[in-house]
């Protein structure tokens, strides 16, 4: 995984604090593939059958959704997080220079040349 070491699965099992710390670090990179890999590692460190019941999802659906082959739906990600006893939080990105916004309003009318 890009720059984020994989922790020992035993530290992630039934440990929402360790899970939240690990996922926060991975999510802060803002890259999809490392996030999917991290979610897969965290999910597999748990008792997937019990977690699926807590999340209200089927076990086979969890494996398919977070196996890294498909882009998971947000609803399933939130259900997985609920099953892990963690929540998804949003933080602003660092400010970056932006070009000035265009002036709002109607576009200027095209001038018709006089003949």
Would you say residue 48 lies in a domain?
yes
Q: Is residue 97, in this structure, part of any structural domain at all?
A: no
**Count of structural domains, the chain:** 1
- Tens digit of pLDDT for each residue in 17-52? 999 999 999 988 888 888 888 888 888 898 888 888
- Percent residues over pLDDT 70 in the chain: 91
Residue 16 lies in domain: 9-83
Comparing CA positions, the residue from 32, 87, 33, 9 lying closest to residue 55 is: 87
Asked, for residue 76, whether it belongs to a domain, the answer is: yes
- Whether 2 maps to a domain, the answer reads no
- pLDDT at residue 100 above 60? yes
CA distance 6 to 13: 13
Structure tokens at 72: 């998971």
pTM over 0.85: no
> Could you tell me if residue 64 is inside a domain?
yes
Q: Does residue 100 sit within a domain? A: no
């Amino acid at each position: 995984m890009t720059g984020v070491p994989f922790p020992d699965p035993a530290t992630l099992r039934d440990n929402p604090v360790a899970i939240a710390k690990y996922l926060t670090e991975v999510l802060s990179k803002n890259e999809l593939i490392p996030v999917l890999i991290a979610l897969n590692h965290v999910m597999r460190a748990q008792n997937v059958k019990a977690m699926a019941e807590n999340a209200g999802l089927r076990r086979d659906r969890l494996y398919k959704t977070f196996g890294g082959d498909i882009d998971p739906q947000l609803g399933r990600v939130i259900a997985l997080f609920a099953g892990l006893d963690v929540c998804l939080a949003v933080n602003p990105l660092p400010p970056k220079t932006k070009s000035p916004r265009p002036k709002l309003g109607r576009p200027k009318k095209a001038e018709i040349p006089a003949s």
